[in-house]
Amino acid sequence: MPGIRPVTFACRANFRQPPEEIAAQILDLAKWPEFTGYAFLPGIRQAEFEVRTPEVVGTRIRVTNTDGSSHVEEIVEWVPDRRVQLRFGDFSPPLSRLATGFDETWLFRREGETTEVVREFALWPKSWFGRLVLWGIARVLERAVGRHLRQLVGGVSGADARGSESS
């Protein structure tokens, strides 16, 4: 809806792996159930390719959550040494009544032996009421994403994951 800003937030972590190895984990659907959600936000029960393209862009992944809800994540940008973007859509109710989509962007910056990963989210509301509800969802999603990043880092010495400014 024109004029309604998205709800945004970002989480970051430092990894020892190079960006391409981190990005490759996005295509490893067996790992997706490691996203366990947070509070009322469900985790992922299953992820499966709906469409898998050789160039990765255009790949669509059907996600079924632990509460039975579902959505599709489409890879819209794939530059695994710098940036990967996914567009979430086709939400089941009640989220389908509140949001047109979510954008998740993974940004990678390699310095020496460390890769800084920033996961940015933009949650696009359908209405002002939807924006208010999405703001609450974003607070919980930010905690879930931060925890997921810590799991991905998995005990790497000197690694950390944290949230950052939101709107």
Q: What confidence tier does 152 reach under pLDDT thresholds 50, 70, 90?
A: confident
- What CATH number corresponds to the domain at position 76? 3.30.530.20
Residue 18 carries which side chain, given as an amino acid letter?
P
Is 124's pLDDT higher than 80? yes
Q: In what order do the strands lie in the sheet with 161-163?
A: 44-51, 60-65, 70-79, 83-89, 99-111, 114-125, 7-15, 161-163
Nearest CA to 51 out of 20, 77, 22, 72 is that of 72
Q: What is the pLDDT of residue 2?
A: 55
Which ranges constitute the DSSP H helices of 41-84? none
Residue-range definition of the domain harbouring residue 42: 7-156
| Partners of residue 46 on adjacent β-strands | 64
Express each pLDDT in 98-111 by its tens digit: 999 999 999 999 99
Is 160's pLDDT higher than 60? no
Express each pLDDT in 29-74 by its tens digit: 999 999 999 999 999 999 999 999 999 999 999 999 999 999 999 9
Is 5's pLDDT higher than 70? yes
In the predicted model, what is the mean pLDDT of the chain? Answer: 91
Q: Is 2 part of a structural domain of the chain? A: no
Q: Is 53 part of a structural domain of the chain? A: yes
Give percent of the chain above pLDDT 90.
87
Residue 2 carries which side chain, given as an amino acid letter?
P
- The domain tally of the chain equals 1
Q: What confidence tier does 167 reach under pLDDT thresholds 50, 70, 90?
A: low
Segment among 14-23, 114-123, 158-167 with least mean pLDDT: 158-167
Do the Cβ atoms of 12 and 146 come closer than 8 Å?
Answer: no
Q: Is 18 part of a structural domain of the chain? A: yes
What's this model's pTM, rounded to 2 decimal places? 0.90
Is 116's pLDDT higher than 90? yes
Q: What is the pLDDT of residue 1?
A: 43
Mean pLDDT of 2-27: 93
Q: Is 164 part of a structural domain of the chain? A: no
Q: Is 163 part of a structural domain of the chain? A: no
